Amino acid sequence: MLARSAAGVGHLTLNRPRAINALDDEMITQIRAALDAWRDDADVQSVLLDGAGERGLCAGGDVRALYDQVRAGQLDLVAGFFQNEYTMNAQIAEYRHPIVALADGVTMGGGIGLAGHAAVRVVTERSKLAMPETRIGFTPDVGGTWLLGRAPGRVGEFLATTCATMDAADAVYAGFADHLVPSAHLGDLRDALQTRADPGGPSELVLLFDETPETSNLERWRGWIDECFAADTVPEIIDRLHAAGDPEATATAERMTDLAPTGMAVTLESVRRARAASGLREVLVQEYGLVMWFATTQPDLVEGIRAQLVDKDRTPRWNPATPAEVPAATIADAFAFVPERPLWQD
């Protein structure tokens, strides 16, 4: 993690380019410390957040470390990581100075927790945004369900359950980004933020480089997305997708057969509850309970990470194996789970 300030701008650069800047506990602690230091610094009026390398801002959290900790029964370490990360997510959302996040390239999972809650969220033609947690037997977190619950129509349910990847136009349409800036202009944008070209505020400066995105695929697909993802359960959603008569809907149904049944069921309910929540902190508490429920009780989490990132055989053995086999009681148990350690420490 690189943290420096100059000309009124604090500059945070995630610096693990070989891992697409995946977040570990030390990086999160460093981000929090820098933001704490700049919060009351009269010489800092805004913060720029970006990632080293050409591949992306942040590929997510260090799920391999999560895998090792869950397998070793180190649930205190698991809880500590999420407490640290979610505190950072809230800190970004509530920060007194505007944070400009450059979500250039891959920005997924924990990367959404960094960029998605910033005051000014920039994407480029290279951006790939997603909440891909149901692929590893998990559920979207880092305040992602707060954003998903506020996406147009049923787009949030679609993105959350299917791990669909957004391009720049999709991200702006779904409310995960504010501006599209061509990657060739990012250097000029960084320079403008520090040289205080007129107009002076970060939002106005970004507009100097902003381009109007093309029509989003999500917008084009809203008809079948809203119809299918309004269904009460994942099996009903899949049935509606097959009956929709749209090739993209059919392909979505087929992709869902590879994802974690329990993860999708819990995620569907999580987005819907987040939609009714009063604020980000309330949603983070809900997400924290769910991630600790998965880590404490669900073998799918370890199995999903094993299949995707450890053995890389891409053939997870989910339990239960199909969406139709997930009992309603399982979903109720997930939301009733109370972690041993509360999220917010006094």
Catalytic annotation on 311? no
Eight-state DSSP code of residue 214: P
pLDDT at 15: 97
pLDDT at 198: 60
- Among residues 51, 56, 61, 109, the one annotated as catalytic is 61
Q: Which of 173, 204, 56 is nearest to 124 (CA)?
A: 56
What are the tokens at 62?
């260090």
State how far the Cα of 77 lies from the Cα of 69, in Å rounded to an integer. Answer: 7
CB 191 within 8 A of CB 100: no
Catalytic annotation on 62? no
- Strands (E) in the chain, as ranges, are 2-6, 9-14, 46-51, 56-58, 99-103, 106-108, 120-123, 128-130, 179-180
* pLDDT 10s digits, 198-230: 656 899 999 999 999 999 999 999 999 999 999
CA distances from 191 to 8, 9, 15, 139, 294 (A): 12, 10, 20, 38, 44
Query: Coil, strand or helix: which one is 12?
Result: strand
Residue with tokens 């669900």: 298
Omega before 140 cis (within 30°)?
A: no
State how far the Cα of 181 lies from the Cα of 102, in Å rounded to an integer. Answer: 9
State how far the Cα of 294 lies from the Cα of 63, in Å rounded to an integer. Answer: 13
- Among residues 50, 62, 85, 141, the one annotated as catalytic is 141
Exposure letters 143-160 (e unless 16+ CB within 10 A, then b): bbbbbbbbbebbbbbbbb
Residue spans of the domains in the chain: they are 2-336
State how far the Cα of 234 lies from the Cα of 252, in Å rounded to an integer. Answer: 12
CB 94 within 8 A of CB 151: no
CB 131 within 8 A of CB 93: no
Catalytic annotation on 248? no
Give residue 315's Cα distance to chain centre.
Answer: 24
- Among residues 85, 133, 178, 269, the one annotated as catalytic is 133
Eight-state DSSP code of residue 182: -
Q: Which of 144, 160, 153, 171 is nearest to 256 (CA)?
A: 160
What are the pLDDT tens digits along the chain (346 aa)?
999 999 899 999 999 999 999 999 999 999 999 999 999 999 999 999 999 999 999 999 999 999 999 999 999 999 999 999 999 999 999 999 999 999 999 999 999 999 999 999 999 999 999 999 999 999 999 999 999 999 999 999 999 999 999 999 999 999 999 999 999 999 999 999 988 756 568 999 999 999 999 999 999 999 999 999 999 999 999 999 999 999 999 999 999 999 999 999 999 999 999 999 999 999 999 999 999 999 999 999 999 999 999 999 999 999 999 999 999 999 999 999 999 999 987 5
Residue with tokens 């720029």: 48
State how far the Cα of 144 lies from the Cα of 264, in Å rounded to an integer. Answer: 15
CB 142 within 8 A of CB 85: yes
Catalytic annotation on 40? no
Q: Which of 154, 152, 153 is nearest to 174 (CA)?
A: 152
State how far the Cα of 291 lies from the Cα of 87, in Å rounded to an integer. Answer: 15
State how far the Cα of 101 lies from the Cα of 90, in Å rounded to an integer. Answer: 15
pLDDT at 346: 55
2-336 folds as 2-enoyl-CoA Hydratase; Chain A, domain 1 (3.90.226)
* pLDDT 10s digits, 144-177: 999 999 999 999 999 999 999 999 999 999 999 9
CA distances from 172 to 53, 121, 191, 222 (A): 23, 9, 24, 15
CB 145 within 8 A of CB 283: yes
CB 260 within 8 A of CB 305: no
- Among residues 10, 60, 109, 110, the one annotated as catalytic is 110
